[in-house]
Structure 1
Amino acid sequence: MTTNDWSIQEIARTAGTTSRTLRHYDDVGLLRPSRTGTNGYRYYDAPALVRLQRILLLRDLGLGLPAIAEALDSERDEVRALGAHLAWLRDEQERVARQVVAVQATITALEKGTSPMAHSMFDGFDHTRYAGEVQERWGAETSERSTRWWSSLSASEKEAFLQTQHDIGTDFGRACAAGLAADSAEVQALARRQVAWLAVSAEATTGAPLTKEYVVGLAHLYADDPRFAATYDRNGTGTALLVRDAMIVLAETEL
């Protein structure tokens, strides 16, 4: 090994991924090693590491491998692409800091026996924080409509909207803990609540009812995107998978 490249094991360990994942990226043409040693080991140089960093950033946005490949091919200026990622990360860092302050203020109010202030409770819980991602996935018009719709809601309406989703997730967690099947009557009733909740924002932003393809796509996103999966799995490991399977069953049978 030269001083200018690193073995697949070193990169997997440093990047928090696995050698198997890196080999898969190679197999699908997403990330080629800079060279392969006589021992058959893959080695990666600095440009390959920059590409891997971009891949991992895009993966954290919830994009699948085909979408990641398309994004990499469409923006070959790495400095510009990473600059956009950096801006998003800084926005996310600032949003999380605001959430910390908001939640701490709520805890303080509850400890003192006073009522939390609605206008400050949801600082940082901004529906538009993924506007760039929405635009990338579904287009600028959908992103703009989504932003206008959320901004038009009052604080109490936003609170009710978020609480509804929280309650659905909690009930899915209970169903998962009870071992209920995705196609059971109880879980399908939860799936209908989930889809009805989605329809509120979807119809406001797209002007059209939910389609089977849209619901199935979101169902997979809930399980595949670490952010969504972690949100649902707070209610119990496996909840995200149950949500996905239940939504797919509902979409196939009722949409």
Structure 2
Amino acid sequence: MEWTIQELATRAGITSRTLRHYDRVGLLAPSRVGANGYRYYDAGAVARLQRILLMRRLGMGLPAIAAVLAEEVDTCDGLRAHITTLEEERDRIDRQLRSVRHTLDALQAGMEPRMDVMLAGFNDHYKDEVISRWGERAFQVSNDWWHGKTLDQQRAWKQAAEDLVAAWVEAAKAGVSPTSEQAQSLAARHIRWLSQIPGTPTAEGDRECSIEMVKGLGDMYVDDPRFADMYDDAAGAAFVRDALQAYARTRM
């Protein structure tokens, strides 16, 4: 099939003048020019125009687009690359939509609009640590999971986390041993809590990586002052570390 320049311009939402300009700068030539001077475009030309319009929408200038198209050997590879780019853009927009919906929910609920607290991804404050220890995918999957929750679900999750921390602090202040049944029960609860977070080894059932993760978390609780504050003091953080690492050695 072929389309005239007017038909293609109308379908693409651009002007025939734009198509003639693309021809002049070497981006998109017509498939053929009829004896009457009319320009015709076949399916291959339309596919090329689709790619040009996609790159324009991504903010690329015409010289940059020309360079990309000139370097490509296989059109299908180029289309696959565009699919990947579009999927990433779709995911970014989806995250923005979820954030805006959360903001609206918070405002309608009459909450103080501190979106930095309510909308932060589960691991946002510890992004670098998560990526360095467990990779980009672990961060992205868990972060998307958090942003996919409703405001009520986020509140419930945070409350469960606060309850767990409070239980750790209470046990540490009571002076129980990290290897005691009480401490080991808390360690099991802590690991069940971790297993609810997509992207973590515990959620994916990877035993060896789960053991490594639990031990690494224990070390991070002690090494990072933010966690010492969370568990009341450095001694509390050390108690959590020792209990988790004992559990990882003997019960995982």
Q: Return the TM-score normalized by structure 2.
A: 0.49
Higher-RCO chain (CA-CA 8 Å, sequence separation at least 6): 1
Largest Rg, 1 or 2 = 2
Q: Return the TM-score normalized by structure 1.
A: 0.48
